[in-house]
Amino acid sequence: MSSLHTGGATAATAAPEAGRSPAALARVLLPSMLGLALARTGLIVGSYGSYNQTDLGIYTDGSMLATLAVMGVLLIILAASKRQLRRRTVTLLAELCILVETMLLMAQAAITLDGEPHGDALFALSMLLSLFSSGAMFYWLRRAKGCSGALAAIYVFGALIVSEVFLEALSLMPQATALFVAAAGSFAQLACLFLAFHARPLHTLNAQEGPHTYFGYTRTPVDDKRFLVSTAIGIGLLAIVIGLLRGYPDGLPIAFSEGERLGYAGLTIVVSAVIVYFMARGNRRTMTMGIWVVLELLACAALIAYAAFPQALGHGALFATTVNALMVGLVWYTVVAFESHGWRDPYYYALAGWIVWLGCRGVARTGLLVIYPFAANDLVVNAVMGLMLLVSTQVVFSCCLRDADSLRQLPAEADAAPAAAGSGEGAVAGGAAMAGSGSGAGASAADGAAPLDALHPAAGPSAEEIRASVLEAMARDDAPPSPFAAAEGATAPAPNRPATAASPAAATAAASMAAPARRQAGPQFSRLMGLDVESAPVATRQPTLARGVEEMGRRFMLSEREIEVLTLYALGYTQKRVAEELFISPGTAHTHIKRIYAKTGMHSRQDILDYLEAYGS
């Protein structure tokens, strides 16, 4: 987490705290949440016309497409470098984006007061505003890297609610006045940045209740990664629908009446508050099936309203703009999820999220604006929106159905696991039983609330039972020989080694986690998105692995020195290099590594990497 802009080493290394009061969480979240809300407010006022209408047409999606071209170049640079930006660089970039956003809003206010068209100047200012306002939002999203899923939802949708309150107030002002006020608000982000710098980092906090995995319907970080792929595809497809809805039917902006504007803001705030409530209370499907059902229903409501009130398009635009705003929250949340799972720099994931979400939306919107005059046909537009809506949701739901199928298989697997354990044929993948004690997500398929206490393994298998399950898995899976085997004579257990009988509790936990470990994203996509920790450069792997190794140390009761040794060893350091880095003798390093293998029941570096990849933080 070294790339985060945090308030000192003590705070950065503080252990997560569960059970904090809502008031305490609010005090810590408020500076960053307010900063994110102000950054979005500046963008909406300057490039969307304060949502007095769906947008400003070409000055919104057209300028955003030009901005995304610049973002694409930055994305390629980050992908090629494979580096994490330094903390000081991140801070300077955030300050630069905030200051430039402020100046651009003031320049737009001056042009508005002038009364002349200045179309080219407004387009250029809107493009630059989209770039630097997005950069400010990227910083505030970066601060949420590594926090729990429930806390991430509270953070992003809370910021969305605050920004909607600001926008509703600004929509009542003349545009020039709204731009000046938005500029002042943008400048106030510097104060938020100062307060956030001295507050605890968000990743050291936990919401009082709620799921810890980002897609709480899933059971392991491996499932989370797979669901990230489906979510990204669904976002791109639904963005096409939103682009068409916001300019229905000819691509031009749709104006709001005062009632419609108030209805849009109220609906967005209410739905966002409901999402926050259910995530905080532990509903594990809120950010999977729940939010997609809501988005689908609102998009369908927009289509129906457009068809029912062709002379009052603002009725349909009310729902279309609500979908657009809620998609902002979902994209924010997904960016935080990618940042927390992948080893690439957080800006990489923010840029990629913007390109997928706003790129698809902008292409659809500008395409409609260009094509409609030549082939005006509302039925075709409706059919395309219906198709994209169907496909986008089905991509996500198919992922949920696969998880449901695996959950139905758990009883049979759990029944088979004790028998396999008793015969010496382990029934779990390496480290699988341990996932139940740290994934933060329950394996229950039931809907509804599940308090955080229920998601932790208070009544789960003991350390000895877990260790027995791991040993059985190692014997069965023919684990690769230890890197120390050739040089130091360390050998893996013989295939006919007697297996320690695991309890039904350990076997059940092992069986429940075995299936997800086999369903990982393809290697090419994993490398592209930075979800494969083992292929990351050492300098960028270390922040990603550190939390997983620390959690692994707590689970297996490793000493502080053993955790330090394990961190370097998982990064690929040789025994001699570990000794040099920690200023200890090679014999001492060798002893620590032998103890790590003994405590964890693992026999090779690959076993450790597989465990961290499948069940680490």
Residues 435 and 396 in one domain: no
Residues 89 and 159 in one domain: yes
Q: Which domain holds residue 594?
A: 413-440+457-615
- Residues paired with 205 in a beta bridge: 17
Residues 361 and 429 in one domain: no
Residues 484 and 582 in one domain: yes
Q: Distances from the Cα of 390 to the Cαs of 43, 96, 284, 383, in angstroms?
A: 30, 41, 23, 11
489: number of Cβ within 10 Å: 8
Whose tokens are 């640079």? That residue is 77
590: left (phi over 0), alpha (psi -120 to 50) or beta: alpha
Of 418, 29, 48, nearest to 207 by C-alpha is: 29
Q: Distances from the Cα of 366 to the Cαs of 244, 316, 360, in angstroms?
A: 9, 19, 10
Q: Distances from the Cα of 280 to the Cαs of 50, 84, 210, 335, 575, in angstroms?
A: 30, 31, 5, 19, 44
* pTM score: 0.71
Residues 395 and 474 in one domain: no
Residues 395 and 478 in one domain: no
User: Does the residue 15 lie in any domain?
Assistant: no
46: number of Cβ within 10 Å: 31
Residues 393 and 495 in one domain: no
Domain count, the chain: 2
- Report the alpha-carbon distance of residue 349 to residue 338 in Å, rounded: 6
User: Does the residue 193 lie in any domain?
Assistant: yes
- Report the alpha-carbon distance of residue 510 to residue 518 in Å, rounded: 13
User: Does the residue 499 lie in any domain?
Assistant: yes
Average pLDDT along the chain, 617 residues, taken 10 residues at a time: 36 40 79 96 93 88 93 92 85 96 96 83 94 97 88 94 95 93 97 89 64 59 66 87 87 90 95 92 82 90 90 93 95 91 87 94 86 72 78 71 54 49 40 36 37 38 46 40 34 36 40 38 59 56 65 83 84 82 86 90 84 62
Residues 499 and 397 in one domain: no
- Report the alpha-carbon distance of residue 555 to residue 537 in Å, rounded: 26
Q: Is 30 exposed, middle or buried (0-12, 13-18, 19+ CB in 10 A)?
A: middle
For the domain that residue 491 is a member of, what is the CATH number?
Answer: 1.10.10.10
User: Does the residue 480 lie in any domain?
Assistant: yes
Q: DSSP code of 59?
A: G
For the domain that residue 310 is a member of, what is the CATH number?
Answer: 1.20.1250.20
User: Does the residue 366 lie in any domain?
Assistant: yes
Residues 435 and 399 in one domain: no
User: Does the residue 14 lie in any domain?
Assistant: no
- Residues paired with 255 in a beta bridge: 53
User: Does the residue 23 lie in any domain?
Assistant: no
Residues 47 and 157 in one domain: yes
Residues 500 and 357 in one domain: no
- Report the alpha-carbon distance of residue 551 to residue 131 in Å, rounded: 38
Q: DSSP code of 451?
A: -
CA-based radius of gyration for the chain: 26
Residues 293 and 425 in one domain: no
Own/partner pairs, 192-196, CB within 8 angstroms, 24+ separation: 192/31, 192/32, 192/34, 192/35, 192/38, 193/5, 193/31, 193/35, 193/91, 193/94, 193/95, 193/98, 193/139, 195/30, 195/31, 196/5, 196/7, 196/31, 196/32, 196/35, 196/143
User: Does the residue 518 lie in any domain?
Assistant: yes
Using an 8 Å Cβ cutoff, are 46 and 133 in contact?
Answer: yes
One-letter amino acid at 309 equals F
Show Cβ contacts of residue 411 under 8 Å, excluding neighbours closer than 6 positions.
none
Which tokens hold the place of 514? 């075995």
Which tokens hold the place of 94? 């955030």
Of 106, 53, 502, nearest to 314 by C-alpha is: 53
